[in-house]
Amino acid sequence: MPTCAATADSIGVMEPPESMRVLLVDDHALFRAGMRLLLEAIRSDLVVLDAGTLEQALTLMQEHPDIRLCLLDLDSSRSRVDDTAPGACCRPCDGRGGDLRQR
C-alpha cells in the first residue's frame, strides 16, 4: 500500500458532505492498512490519510488543514525530522483553534 501518495482528492473520489479527515501516522505499513480498514468499517464518513514518517505527516497536515484527528505512533529513535521528536508533529495543530490533546 503506497504511503501518502494518493488521497481522496487526488484521485477524484467524492467525499460525503460531512466527512471527517483522519491522519494515521505509523512506521508500519501493515498496521496503517489494518487501522484504515477498521476505521472505515466503523464510520463510512471518514477520509483516512496515512503517512509512514513525520515528514510525510507534516506535509499532509499542510495540504489538508481540515484534519480532525491524528493518530501518531512512531519509534522516536527512527522517525526524527531535523532532530525533532515525534511530539513536534502536534505543534502545527496548536494554532488551528482546535482542542489539541496528546495521549
Can you give the length of the chain in residues? Answer: 103
Residue 61: inside a domain: yes
Residues 61-87 have pLDDT tens digits of 999 999 998 888 866 555 444 445 555
Question: Residue 52 is placed in which grid cell?
Answer: 509512514
**pLDDT over 70 (residue 89):** no
Residue 16: inside a domain: no
For 71, the enclosing helix (H) or strand (E) is: strand 67-73
Higher local confidence (pLDDT), 21 or 11:
21
User: Which residues face 98 on adjacent strands?
Assistant: none
Residue 101: inside a domain: no
Structurally, the chain folds into a number of domains equal to 1
Residue 80: inside a domain: yes
d(CA 91, CA 64): 15
d(CA 39, CA 37): 6
Domain that holds residue 80: 25-96
d(CA 4, CA 15): 18
Higher local confidence (pLDDT), 53 or 94:
53
pLDDT at position 18 is 76
**pLDDT over 60 (residue 96):** no
